[in-house]
Amino acid sequence: MATRQSRPKLQPVHEEISDLLSDQGEDRFSCPKEIRKKAMDFLARREYGFEELVKKLADKGYKRTIVEDELARLSDEGLQSDTRFAEAFVQSRINQGKGPVRIRVDLGQRGIRDGVIDGALENAAADWFELAQHERVKKFGAERPADFKEKARQMRFLQYRGFEQDHIQEAVE
Protein backbone atom coordinates (compact mmCIF):
# COMPACT_ATOMS: atom_id res chain seq x y z
CA MET A 1 0.00 0.00 0.00
CA ALA A 2 1.43 3.34 -1.06
CA THR A 3 1.94 5.86 1.64
CA ARG A 4 0.81 9.33 0.98
CA GLN A 5 3.52 11.96 1.30
CA SER A 6 2.60 14.99 3.30
CA ARG A 7 2.87 18.37 1.66
CA PRO A 8 5.05 21.02 3.24
CA LYS A 9 2.95 23.39 5.27
CA LEU A 10 2.68 26.82 3.65
CA GLN A 11 3.48 29.91 5.68
CA PRO A 12 0.87 32.63 5.97
CA VAL A 13 1.77 35.75 3.97
CA HIS A 14 2.46 37.87 7.07
CA GLU A 15 5.06 35.32 8.19
CA GLU A 16 6.73 35.37 4.75
CA ILE A 17 7.02 39.15 4.99
CA SER A 18 8.42 38.93 8.49
CA ASP A 19 11.08 36.55 7.13
CA LEU A 20 12.27 39.40 4.85
CA LEU A 21 12.90 41.69 7.80
CA SER A 22 16.47 41.81 8.98
CA ASP A 23 15.47 42.13 12.62
CA GLN A 24 12.31 40.57 14.04
CA GLY A 25 11.69 43.72 16.11
CA GLU A 26 12.02 45.97 13.05
CA ASP A 27 8.96 47.71 11.65
CA ARG A 28 8.21 46.58 8.09
CA PHE A 29 7.52 50.20 7.10
CA SER A 30 11.12 51.14 7.85
CA CYS A 31 12.76 48.03 6.38
CA PRO A 32 14.85 48.89 3.29
CA LYS A 33 14.34 45.40 1.81
CA GLU A 34 10.57 45.69 2.09
CA ILE A 35 10.59 49.19 0.59
CA ARG A 36 12.78 48.06 -2.29
CA LYS A 37 10.51 45.07 -2.94
CA LYS A 38 7.39 47.26 -2.95
CA ALA A 39 9.04 49.83 -5.25
CA MET A 40 10.09 47.05 -7.63
CA ASP A 41 6.51 45.74 -7.63
CA PHE A 42 5.26 49.18 -8.72
CA LEU A 43 7.99 49.58 -11.34
CA ALA A 44 7.23 46.14 -12.78
CA ARG A 45 3.77 47.37 -13.77
CA ARG A 46 4.76 50.73 -15.31
CA GLU A 47 7.35 53.51 -15.18
CA TYR A 48 7.15 56.01 -12.32
CA GLY A 49 8.91 59.29 -11.74
CA PHE A 50 11.11 59.50 -8.63
CA GLU A 51 8.86 61.96 -6.75
CA GLU A 52 5.69 60.15 -7.78
CA LEU A 53 7.06 56.85 -6.44
CA VAL A 54 8.27 58.46 -3.20
CA LYS A 55 4.79 59.87 -2.62
CA LYS A 56 3.09 56.57 -3.47
CA LEU A 57 5.25 54.61 -1.02
CA ALA A 58 5.04 57.27 1.70
CA ASP A 59 1.24 57.27 1.36
CA LYS A 60 1.32 53.51 2.01
CA GLY A 61 3.05 54.19 5.35
CA TYR A 62 6.70 53.63 4.52
CA LYS A 63 9.25 55.98 6.13
CA ARG A 64 9.97 58.77 3.64
CA THR A 65 13.71 59.11 4.33
CA ILE A 66 14.33 55.39 3.85
CA VAL A 67 12.11 55.39 0.75
CA GLU A 68 14.18 58.20 -0.78
CA ASP A 69 17.43 56.34 -0.03
CA GLU A 70 16.18 53.09 -1.56
CA LEU A 71 14.78 54.83 -4.63
CA ALA A 72 18.10 56.64 -5.10
CA ARG A 73 19.75 53.20 -5.16
CA LEU A 74 17.20 51.93 -7.69
CA SER A 75 17.82 55.01 -9.79
CA ASP A 76 21.60 54.50 -9.64
CA GLU A 77 21.08 50.90 -10.77
CA GLY A 78 18.97 52.09 -13.71
CA LEU A 79 15.78 50.43 -12.48
CA GLN A 80 14.02 53.77 -11.97
CA SER A 81 14.53 56.58 -14.46
CA ASP A 82 12.80 59.96 -14.68
CA THR A 83 13.93 60.22 -18.31
CA ARG A 84 12.39 56.88 -19.25
CA PHE A 85 9.21 57.79 -17.36
CA ALA A 86 8.96 61.19 -19.09
CA GLU A 87 9.45 59.67 -22.55
CA ALA A 88 6.75 57.05 -21.97
CA PHE A 89 4.43 59.68 -20.48
CA VAL A 90 4.91 62.08 -23.41
CA GLN A 91 4.17 59.34 -25.93
CA SER A 92 1.04 58.24 -24.08
CA ARG A 93 -0.26 61.83 -23.95
CA ILE A 94 0.49 62.38 -27.64
CA ASN A 95 -1.56 59.24 -28.35
CA GLN A 96 -4.39 60.85 -26.35
CA GLY A 97 -4.17 63.99 -28.50
CA LYS A 98 -2.69 66.28 -25.85
CA GLY A 99 -0.46 69.22 -26.71
CA PRO A 100 2.97 70.21 -25.38
CA VAL A 101 1.70 72.78 -22.86
CA ARG A 102 -0.58 70.28 -21.15
CA ILE A 103 2.09 67.56 -21.18
CA ARG A 104 4.65 69.93 -19.65
CA VAL A 105 2.25 70.88 -16.83
CA ASP A 106 1.31 67.25 -16.13
CA LEU A 107 4.96 66.17 -15.94
CA GLY A 108 5.82 69.15 -13.73
CA GLN A 109 3.07 68.13 -11.31
CA ARG A 110 4.68 64.69 -11.11
CA GLY A 111 8.00 66.19 -10.01
CA ILE A 112 9.90 65.87 -13.27
CA ARG A 113 12.59 68.55 -13.84
CA ASP A 114 12.27 71.01 -16.74
CA GLY A 115 15.41 69.73 -18.48
CA VAL A 116 14.06 66.17 -18.53
CA ILE A 117 10.68 67.42 -19.80
CA ASP A 118 12.34 69.41 -22.60
CA GLY A 119 14.38 66.38 -23.64
CA ALA A 120 11.35 64.09 -23.66
CA LEU A 121 9.30 66.53 -25.76
CA GLU A 122 12.17 66.93 -28.24
CA ASN A 123 12.74 63.16 -28.47
CA ALA A 124 9.06 62.61 -29.20
CA ALA A 125 9.52 64.50 -32.49
CA ALA A 126 5.78 65.10 -32.69
CA ASP A 127 4.28 67.35 -35.35
CA TRP A 128 2.20 69.50 -33.01
CA PHE A 129 0.56 71.39 -35.92
CA GLU A 130 -0.63 68.15 -37.47
CA LEU A 131 -1.79 66.78 -34.13
CA ALA A 132 -3.78 69.96 -33.36
CA GLN A 133 -5.39 69.79 -36.81
CA HIS A 134 -6.21 66.09 -36.33
CA GLU A 135 -7.82 66.72 -32.93
CA ARG A 136 -9.88 69.64 -34.30
CA VAL A 137 -11.14 67.55 -37.22
CA LYS A 138 -11.89 64.58 -34.97
CA LYS A 139 -13.98 66.74 -32.63
CA PHE A 140 -15.61 69.23 -35.02
CA GLY A 141 -15.37 67.75 -38.53
CA ALA A 142 -13.37 68.78 -41.60
CA GLU A 143 -15.23 72.05 -42.29
CA ARG A 144 -13.60 75.24 -41.10
CA PRO A 145 -15.50 77.27 -38.47
CA ALA A 146 -18.18 79.39 -40.15
CA ASP A 147 -18.34 82.28 -37.69
CA PHE A 148 -16.36 83.86 -34.89
CA LYS A 149 -18.32 82.10 -32.14
CA GLU A 150 -17.57 78.65 -33.57
CA LYS A 151 -13.93 79.56 -34.19
CA ALA A 152 -13.55 80.70 -30.56
CA ARG A 153 -15.15 77.45 -29.36
CA GLN A 154 -12.73 75.33 -31.35
CA MET A 155 -9.78 77.44 -30.20
CA ARG A 156 -10.79 77.01 -26.54
CA PHE A 157 -10.99 73.24 -27.06
CA LEU A 158 -7.48 73.10 -28.53
CA GLN A 159 -6.13 75.39 -25.82
CA TYR A 160 -7.62 73.10 -23.16
CA ARG A 161 -5.93 70.15 -24.87
CA GLY A 162 -2.61 71.94 -24.37
CA PHE A 163 -1.64 73.27 -27.77
CA GLU A 164 0.30 76.49 -28.20
CA GLN A 165 -1.26 79.52 -29.86
CA ASP A 166 0.50 79.06 -33.21
CA HIS A 167 -0.64 75.41 -33.38
CA ILE A 168 -4.20 76.50 -32.65
CA GLN A 169 -4.19 79.32 -35.21
CA GLU A 170 -3.03 77.05 -38.00
CA ALA A 171 -5.55 74.34 -37.07
CA VAL A 172 -8.59 76.65 -37.23
CA GLU A 173 -7.51 78.77 -40.25
pLDDT digit string (tens) for 27-72? 778 888 999 999 999 999 999 999 999 999 999 999 999 999 999 9
Query: Between the CA of residue 114 and those of 102, 103, 104, what are the distances in Å?
Result: 14, 12, 8
On the question of pLDDT at 143 being above 80, the answer is yes
- Domain ranges for the chain, please list them: 15-80, 83-172
DSSP string of 38-85?
Answer: HHHHHHHHS---HHHHHHHHHHTT--HHHHHHHHHHHHHTTSS-HHHH
Domain 15-80 matching CATH 3.10.20.600: the answer reads: no
| pLDDT for residue 29 | 80
Q: Tell me: the pLDDT tens digits for 90-141?
A: 999 999 999 999 999 999 999 999 999 999 999 998 999 999 999 999 999 9
Query: Between the CA of residue 132 and those of 100, 157, 172, what are the distances in Å?
Result: 10, 10, 9
Distance CA 120, CA 91 (A): 9
7: pLDDT confidence band, cut at 50, 70 and 90?
Answer: low
Those residues with Cβ within 8 angstroms of residue 61's Cβ, 6 or more apart along the chain or in another chain: 29
| pLDDT for residue 6 | 60
